[in-house]
Amino acid sequence: MISAVRGTLISKTGDRVVLETTGGVSYELAVPLGVLERLPVEGRAVELKTVLVVREDGWALYGFDQELERTVFQRLLGASGIGPRLALALVSTLGGPRGRRPAQCAGGAGGAGTDEPGLRARRCGSRGPRRGVAGWYR
């Protein structure tokens, strides 16, 4: 398991960043939007906490600058019907300075984040992640 990556920020594109370690190895990590906004300019030193997801079609690293976001991402992955892409979209929607407060997302019309791009209403309606996600933040 890779728990963190420290290195120089090489690039920020879309929802991905590339970090080059002092050993010369570059890692591409998918990150939530809030992390992307909080990262410094390219060429600066960065350390991200990571989650390594191993699947039949490949390995993927997901990076977080806050332990809370990483923990929520890991718990979402453990929920039935939620894969890494949806978990990352939920963390992007719920966390960081751009996102709503978790209590606001847990209640209200439409369920958790159904109006956000990349989230399908059938997975985020009255069933699915709404059952207990808000409790993970407390």
Q: Classify residue 95 by burial, with Cβ atoms within 10 Å: 0-12, 13-18, 19+.
A: buried
Mean pLDDT of 72-101: 83
Cα separation, 129 vs 116, in Å, equals: 14
In the chain, the percentage of residues whose pLDDT exceeds 70 is 68
Query: Average pLDDT, whole number, for the chain?
Result: 80
pLDDT at residue 71, rounded to an integer: 95
Is residue 88 helix, strand or coil?
Answer: helix
The runs of H, that is alpha helices, within 9-55 are 33-38
Q: How far apart are CA 5 and CA 108, in angstroms?
A: 38
- Checking if the pLDDT of 98 tops 50, the result is no
| CB contact set of 18 (below 8 Å; sequence gap of 6+) | 9, 10, 11, 26, 27, 28, 29
